[in-house]
Amino acid sequence: MATLVEKFFDSKDELTAELSQTLEQSLRDGIKSDGRAVLMVSGGSSPAPAYKHLSTLDLDWQNIDVAMVDERWVEPSHEKSNEAFIKSTLLQNHGRAANFITMKNDAATAEQGTQVCEAAYSALKAPYDVTILGMGPDGHTASLFPHAQGLEHGLTTQQTVCAINAIESEVTGSITERMTLTLNAIANSKVVKLLISGEEKLAVYKQAKAGGDVNDMPLRAVLNHPSINIEVYWAP
């Protein structure tokens, strides 16, 4: 049975402290119980301080798999690459020893690269120990964007990843071609941590939580899923 726990903090520092502690414990528990731990990571400013803190911890990083939640179909050297962000925050210090699974491959398009990406992700331990999600002002999460080409497939398929081509907007920018975890993959997590900051995004979250068409706000598909355990972290 799904659970939804909301954790509201007075500051981003308090959010980071709590997130860092719980991520560390989840990784240690995963290694202890299964021999490996799997951490699904998103980009964005909210998790960055926790990633940097985690990288300094003397964990058994060789038995930790770090994999992307979603990625723009750009080279890792691109300024908008989530992979570059993760490498500059989490995969530093001790964290360099983690096994990193990226989404971007040599295929010309995300659609053409799906099979290779699916094979890499299917090799990971499941359920994943933690999946970290963000949320956009349009109600998207991962790269499950409103009314995107591939959204319906991403919400219904039993596959782990899928290609998405979003509608260009202020939120997506000009890079609309993405690879993302599917709803099925997000659900295949022991816990999902949804990170939100600011009053505007809190209002969007509440709107999504209130119900409505998942095509308008794909986050609703996560919040309404019957088996996802979600912890919502919010700070001003």
Residue range 116-173, pLDDT digits in tens: 999 999 999 999 999 999 999 999 999 999 999 999 999 999 999 999 999 999 999 9
Q: Are strands 177-181 and 70-72 parallel, antiparallel or unpaired?
A: antiparallel
Distance of CA 173 to the CA centre of its chain: 19
How far is 59 from 55, CA to CA, in rounded Å?
Answer: 9
Task: Provide the pLDDT for residue 50.
Answer: 97
| Distant-in-sequence, close-in-space partners of 77: CB < 8 Å, separation ≥ 6 | 84
- Tokens linked to 118: 């699916």
> pLDDT per residue over 210-229, tens digit each?
999 999 999 999 999 999 99
Bridge partners for 54 per DSSP: none
The residue ranges of DSSP E strands in 119-185, in sequence order, are 130-133, 161-165, 177-181
pTM above 0.95, yes or no: yes
* pLDDT score recorded for residue 2: 74
